[in-house]
Amino acid sequence: MDNMMEELSSKTAFTIHILGHSIPIADSCVVTWIIMGAIVLLSIIFTHKLKKVPTGSQCILEGIAEWLDKFLLDILGHKGKKYLPFLKTLIIYIAFANLIGLFGFVPPTKDINVTAALAGIAIIFVQMTFIIEKGLLKWLKSLLNPINLLDLITRPLSLCMRLFGNVLGAFVVMELIKKGICAIGVPVIASAYFDIFDGLLQAYVFVFLTSLYTSEAIEEE
């Protein structure tokens, strides 16, 4: 149990000392940098020498890109097309963050600070789309409605705790299985669900809800 609690706690990878101040850098931050670097590197590799007639990995990538476009546009409508880059980047990052446990890293989304930051970014994005589409004055007027004010609190909290709770729960279950069940194949089967399927599902749900909130912000009155 002590080992489990130690694994669940957010650790400091290293500390930066600047002008007499110490800035602790958490493991989740370092892993996030690794994910960012991996995504950039893979983007360069997979987009190098693209062909007009796709073959192999290019077919798979274009299929995923088309699925994401359709999935998001079905929610946002054609008017929300300009917001696709942000939402696709969000789902790619969260998917990588949830799946990185397969490579021996602790998922950064296991840290509530990370999920809170993601939820905050998502809600700020939603509010910005409202301002862009309808203007600052209408946004300020919308805040006079108590329900809208409540949404500013409950929506990011819901996004944060849903992602954090599911990722943390999957991590705990996998650790218990690894320590308590020795049957051949059981950890592998459980990992296929909790580390892969559930990780991708949580990325999908997070971006689905963010897209839904964005759709409400840009819809015609």
> What dihedral angle (degrees, nearest 10) is formed by the CA atoms of 37, 104, 169, 206?
20
| Per-domain boundaries in the chain | 51-218
The whole-angstrom separation of Cα 110 and Cα 116 is 11
pLDDT digits (tens, 9 = 90+) for 113-169: 899 999 999 999 999 999 999 999 998 888 888 888 888 889 988 898 888 888 777
Q: Is 66 exposed, middle or buried (0-12, 13-18, 19+ CB in 10 A)?
A: exposed
Give me the residue label for tokens 């909290």: 157
Q: What is the rounded radius of gyration, in angstroms, for the C-alpha atoms of the chain?
A: 20
Higher per-residue pLDDT: 206 or 221: 206
Interacting residues of 35 by C-beta distance below 8 A, sequence separation 6+: 93, 96, 97, 100, 108
Q: What is the pTM assigned to this prediction?
A: 0.83
> 10-14, 45-49, 94-98, 109-113 — which is least confidently predicted?
10-14
Of the candidates 211, 219, 221, the one whose C-alpha atom is nearest the C-alpha of residue 126 is: 211
Of the candidates 206, 207, 6, 211, the one whose C-alpha atom is nearest the C-alpha of residue 106 is: 6
Residue type, 194: F
Residue 95 confidence class, pLDDT cut points 50, 70, 90:
very high
